[in-house]
């Protein structure tokens, strides 16, 4: 101020006019000293105008969301203001969200360029506010993981009620959907901080579909790797290609054709280029739908045949009564127990439940659950009954 404190009012007013010049020209605000008048007919009109501004900010930052980790969680306080029948209250949380988004947008992008042959990982996390994931690849330059793509979204009103385990699983599912084009057909790791995830290597019945295909894969791999069994993994890609191109009676076609709508093509086959034509693309989609409908019908037919064949050999269960002594079948086999007794006991039946199910209690001192519930299929009378 060239003339001292006497020019403070005019200097301050000039500064305020400079800051709000664009809004003054648009007729939105009218500043006078430290008071700013928002020009509107009523409070509702002013609130609607503020909501439009929040929507503009959300749209602008959302365009760069792939550069911002956990974007949906950070922007949740702002996006909640745009909901219908929600009071507009721009409080401390909203201000912190706005400032954090501005700070992140001002930083340099740290995303790397996707490379097909690099080690790939997907890191996921979830909370009641939202789901987030990041696609990472290990750079050959510095042998460090660099982010390639950030993904995040808010949880719905239904998903908020999920347990932490279910939210973590949902985050993995959403990440696989989002990063599908990057990870399809290549090995990758999924990293999560959920301690509830455990392996079931000693419990084959946990995934019957996997165990069924392993009955085919393991014998073939053992023959293909006779020279060096430790290098069995080198034969997996070629075996996978053969299995996917083999006719399956249960679906009445090959797995590859069922998924993609065409026969598998090797590296020298150029038929895939013919699918670029628009008319062929339409026929491709129609044929795939027909194949899937036919596969569904064939699966149901085979299931009914298998059901009839299984029921022919099935016997009626032995009926037990309360206080009967029985032996129960071990359903979990730990390491080194493959040749041990399959039944343990004695157990005393304490309750007869519907559908041939019984509650039993341990009698004696031996390894096994104290109390459990099991079906008649896993029971047999105790020899010393």
Pick from 194-198, 235-239, 266-270: least confident: 266-270
The model's confidence at residue 223, banded by pLDDT at 50, 70 and 90, is confident
Residue 40's φ and ψ, nearest 5 degrees, are -160, 155
Average pLDDT (95-103) is: 88
Q: Which residue has the higher pLDDT, 45 or 197?
A: 45
The per-residue pLDDT for 267 is: 53
The model's confidence at residue 269, banded by pLDDT at 50, 70 and 90, is very low
Its sign, for the CA torsion 261, 263, 265, 271, is negative
Q: Is beta strand 145-154 parallel, antiparallel or unpaired with respect to 130-138? A: antiparallel
The per-residue pLDDT for 350 is: 92
The percentage of residues in the chain with a pLDDT greater than 90, rounded to a whole number, is 15
The per-residue pLDDT for 274 is: 44
The per-residue pLDDT for 170 is: 93
Average pLDDT (46-73) is: 81
The model's confidence at residue 201, banded by pLDDT at 50, 70 and 90, is low
The per-residue pLDDT for 300 is: 93
Q: Which class for 379: exposed (0-12), middle (13-18), buried (19 or more C-beta within 10 A)?
A: buried
Residues 329-380: tens digit of each pLDDT? 887 766 766 667 788 889 999 999 888 899 999 988 888 888 999 888 888 8
The model's confidence at residue 105, banded by pLDDT at 50, 70 and 90, is confident
Copy the structure tokens of residue 238: 């070629």
Residue with tokens 């987030």: 132
Q: Which residue has the higher pLDDT, 136 or 273?
A: 136
Alpha-carbon gap, residue 256 to 250, rounded angstroms: 14
The per-residue pLDDT for 172 is: 92
The per-residue pLDDT for 360 is: 92
The per-residue pLDDT for 1 is: 61
Residues 300, 306, 308, 310: what is their CA dihedral angle, to the nearest 10 degrees? -150
Alpha-carbon gap, residue 271 to 250, rounded angstroms: 27
The per-residue pLDDT for 179 is: 93
Alpha-carbon gap, residue 102 to 84, rounded angstroms: 26
The per-residue pLDDT for 10 is: 84
Indicate whether 200 pLDDT > 60: no
CB of 81 closer than 8 Å to CB of 51: yes
Indicate whether 54 pLDDT > 80: yes
Copy the structure tokens of residue 307: 């059901």
The model's confidence at residue 303, banded by pLDDT at 50, 70 and 90, is very high
Residue 179's φ and ψ, nearest 5 degrees, are -95, 20
3-state secondary structure (DSSP) of residue 131: strand
The per-residue pLDDT for 174 is: 94
Partners of 131 in beta bridges: 126, 153
Average pLDDT (74-84) is: 86
Q: Across all residues in the chain, what is the average pLDDT?
A: 81
Alpha-carbon gap, residue 274 to 277, rounded angstroms: 6
Task: Residue 152: name the closest of 181, 174, 167 by CA.
Answer: 174
Task: Residue 47: name the closest of 19, 86, 79, 76 by CA.
Answer: 86
Q: What is the per-residue DSSP string for 163-211?
A: -HHHHHHHHHHHHHHHTHHHHTTS--EEEE--TT----TT-GGG-HHHH
Average pLDDT (161-177) is: 91
Whether the pTM exceeds 0.75: the reply is no
Average pLDDT (81-92) is: 84
Q: Which class for 170: exposed (0-12), middle (13-18), buried (19 or more C-beta within 10 A)?
A: middle
């Amino acid at each position: 101020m060239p003339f001292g404190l006497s020019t403070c009012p005019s200097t301050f007013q000039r500064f305020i006019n400079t800051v709000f010049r664009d809004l003054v020209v648009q007729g939105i605000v009218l500043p006078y000293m430290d008071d700013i008048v928002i020009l509107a007919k009523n409070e509702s009109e002013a609130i609607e105008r503020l909501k439009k501004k929040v929507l503009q900010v959300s749209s602008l930052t959302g365009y760069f969301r792939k550069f911002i980790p956990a974007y949906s969680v950070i922007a949740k306080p702002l996006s909640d203001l745009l909901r219908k029948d929600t009071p507009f209250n721009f409080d401390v949380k909203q201000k912190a969200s706005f400032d954090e988004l501005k700070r992140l947008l001002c930083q340099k992008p740290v995303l790397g360029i996707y490379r097909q042959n690099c080690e790939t990982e997907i890191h996921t996390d979830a909370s009641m506010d939202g789901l987030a994931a990041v696609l990472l690849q290990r750079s050959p330059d510095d042998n460090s993981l660099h982010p390639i793509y950030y993904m995040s979204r808010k949880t719905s009103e239904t998903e908020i009620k999920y347990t932490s385990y279910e939210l973590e699983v949902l985050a993995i599912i959403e990440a696989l959907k989002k990063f599908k084009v990057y990870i399809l057909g290549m090995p990758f790791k999924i990293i999560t901080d959920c301690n509830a995830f455990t392996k079931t290597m000693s419990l084959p019945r946990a995934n019957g579909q996997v165990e069924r295909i392993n009955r085919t894969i393991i014998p073939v791999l053992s023959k293909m790797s006779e020279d060096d069994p430790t290098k069995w993994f080198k034969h997996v890609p070629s075996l996978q290609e053969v299995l996917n191109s083999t006719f399956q009676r249960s679906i009445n076609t090959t797995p590859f054709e069922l998924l993609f709508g065409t026969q598998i093509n090797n590296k020298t086959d150029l038929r895939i280029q013919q699918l670029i034509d628009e008319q062929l693309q339409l026929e491709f989609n129609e044929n795939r739908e027909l194949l899937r409908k036919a596969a569904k019908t064939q699966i149901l037919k085979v299931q009914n045949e298998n059901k009839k064949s299984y029921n022919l050999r099935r016997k009626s269960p032995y009926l037990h009564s309360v206080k009967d002594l029985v032996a129960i079948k071990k359903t979990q086999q730990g390491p080194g127990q493959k040749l041990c007794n399959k039944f343990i006991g004695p157990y005393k039946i304490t309750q007869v439940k519907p559908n041939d199910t019984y509650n039993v209690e341990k009698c004696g001192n031996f390894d096994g659950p104290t109390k459990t519930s099991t079906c008649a299929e896993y029971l047999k009378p105790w020899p010393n009954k």
